[in-house]
Structure 1
């Protein structure tokens, strides 16, 4: 019986490439690129991310997932259009961009797909398979439409209608995204120790870029949190079948954004409100908070943005007549 190499962890999977002698690493990468072998090229890209990526072994699963999908789509295009991966033509990269734009993909989406394809080529160069860098100078049109226009926040009355049709789980999750401004991954990663109703604080330990922050609770969120804790915290009453209702230590009984989406969509549908994802909740938090504090820096800190430009571009804006009261005495 042949024993397969241990690959149960990200590092172990990456080591299947990184532990190879240079000549063998190059040979296998060249063969994978020549054959356009999807599984091997995806594995090589993930190994590169683990060893040479900006975050290395701590690269987030979402980033890895996005790059995996982007590399897979680029390889589909390369196969259909006979692109030589090791010696791409000087117009192959721009042709790929044009192909995506002509298919209706937005510039921001094209940027993400190009980043993934670029990561594949960094992995091939890391392996010594090629010196090609076809996406180095590729131009992608800028999308001039503001993020708040393309993907606006939920409105006050929309959220109120949904809350009227939401169960305890959905109501608490909705307040975490629309009042505390948490990303869905941050909310689902919360443990009971992270939520402090007495001081009205939420400790986010799994923020984007592995940054922690402490977020203030609204009065409504604190109330919803106390109610939720009374029902579902360890030692509390159980209204299901006598089994634990949440994973050990975690606040929510579901850990997957897809499962959370399913439950939220049901509440939105019952309320007659179109569900547009989790981010419009964060945008609601940013927009409403900015209207009150009029300080992009404080709003950026609340949302966990490293730069206030991110907040300004896509998450919050002041009304066009915001200065009228300040100018009234001029």
Structure 2
């Protein structure tokens, strides 16, 4: 059996770069860039994020992974196009943007990949390997189509059909995402003490940007919570079909969004509904709530958005004839 070397946590990994003297740090970064050593440049970028990123060590794992993938993809392009990483040409960055658009990638996706490549160059400058900042003035076309149009919410009928085919875990997860509007990461982080079905509240301890908030429960979600607690909370029924269900402290048994996606996708397939991820559930919550309260600010607070524009552009919309009742008698 081959033993893999211990990689350590993110701080330990970052220390392999940050502990170097300036000259050695520069030398290793220059060598990695010259050789287009993907693993070393990814490691350098992650070390930079840990020490110099806006959130430092608290940068979310999803952000780190997204940047890791983006750096790998840019380096693949740079290798194929013989881009000199330390002395990029004036048109290399715009060429990368044009390449991604030509392959069909949407502007929002291009923006994310450019952010990852930009972070790579910040890391190289942090290491003293180059002064280049090739993406500084790059322009990315804006996609004028609202996000909720490109990626619409699940419909009432779709959710009802899936609920008929989902197991208790899947049903409750759908309620939490489609009624409480929680992100999948927020839902999977829930602990039993975070659920207050009597007061119809959910305490999200660490949402996006590490912000806590209290979310109101719908009547049906509160009822579903009581039922789910009776089945799986410590002291309740601990087994179903002879298997242990969920850790004692966490509400859901799913260890990661990928695991949750795998199980929910099976329920969607059984219902004949295309599974489009968990965000369409949040969009269902936002759209339905907006149609009822007609207040983007309150919907944004429910979804945990810092900006109302985020809610307006991607998560909730009013019906096209929403004003018809208000115009009666004009």
- TM bin (shorter chain): over 0.9
Q: Find the aligned partners of 1:239 and 1:67 in 2 and give their Cα distance.
A: 40
Please tell me whether the aligned partners of residues 153 and 282 of structure 2 are also in contact (alpha carbons under 8 angstroms).
yes
Question: What is the match of residue 193 of structure 1?
Answer: 193
Within a 5 Å distance, the mapping from 1:31-110 to structure 2 comes to 31-110=31-110
| Alignment RMSD (CA, Å) | 1.4
Residue of structure 1 equivalent to 2:277? 277
Structure 2 alignment gaps of length 5 or more: none
1:175 and 2:189 matched? no
Contact 2:153 2:281 in 1 (8 A): yes
Structure 1 residues 6, 163: closer, same or farther in 2, change over 3 A? closer
Q: For residues 176-325 of structure 1, what are the structure 2 equivalents within 5 Å?
A: 176-240=176-240, 244-325=244-325
How far the C-alpha of 1:329 sits from its partner, in A, is: 3.7
**Structure 1 stretch displaced more, 235-244 or 55-64:** 235-244
In 2, Cα distance between the equivalents of 1:263 and 1:6? 31
Q: What's the secondary structure of 2:240's corresponding residue?
A: coil
Alpha-carbon distance, 1:243 to partner: 6.0
CA distance in 2 between counterparts of 1:13 and 1:5 reads 12
Give the C-alpha shift of residue 327 in structure 1: 2.4
Q: Distance in 2 between matches of 1:56 and 1:122?
A: 14
Shift of 1:241: 6.6
Give per-residue Cα distances to partners, 1:275-307, cap 9 Å, x unaligned: 111111000000000000000000000000000
Matched-pair contact (CA < 8 Å) for 2:233–2:248: no
**Structure 1 residue 12, shift from structure 2 partner:** 1.2
Please give the alpha-carbon distance, in whole angstroms, between the structure 2 residues aligned to 1:166 and 1:274.
14
Q: C-alpha displacement at 1:5, in angstroms?
A: 9.8
| Distance in 1 (alpha carbons) for counterparts of 2:6 and 2:279 | 38
* SS of residue paired to 1:325: coil
Looking at structure 2, the residues matched to 173 and 206 of structure 1 have their Cα atoms a distance apart, in angstroms, of 18
Distance in 1 between residues matched to 2:205 and 2:234, nearest whole Å: 21
C-alpha contact (below 8 Å) 1:6/1:12 kept by paired residues: no
Looking at structure 2, the residues matched to 329 and 175 of structure 1 have their Cα atoms a distance apart, in angstroms, of 40
Question: What TM-score comes out, normalization by structure 1 length?
Answer: 0.96
- Distance in 2 (CA, whole Å) between partners of 1:58 and 1:173 is 26
Q: How does 1:127-206 map to 2 (within 5 A)?
A: 127-206=127-206
SS of the equivalent of 2:202 reads strand
TM-score for the superposition, normalised by structure 2 = 0.96
Contact 1:189-1:255 within 8 A present in 2 as well: no
Query: 1:244 deviation in Å?
Result: 3.9
Distance across 1 between alignment mates of 2:219 and 2:266:
25
SS for the counterpart of 2:326 is helix
Tell me by how many angstroms 1:13 deviates: 1.0
> Which piece of structure 1 moves more, 140-149 or 125-134?
140-149
Structure 1 CA distance, aligned partners of 2:265 and 2:283? 18
Give SS of 2:215's match. strand
The DSSP-based 3-state class of the residue aligned with 1:317 is coil
Query: What does 1:1-12 correspond to in 2, within 5 Å?
Result: 7-12=7-12
- Measured after TM superposition, the shift of residue 43 of structure 1 is 0.6
State the secondary structure of the residue aligned to 2:34: helix
1:103 CA displacement: 0.7
Question: What is the Cα deviation at residue 235 of structure 1?
Answer: 1.4
Distance in 1 of aligned mates of 2:252 and 2:218: 19
- State how far apart, in whole Å, the 2-side matches of 1:241 and 1:184 are: 26
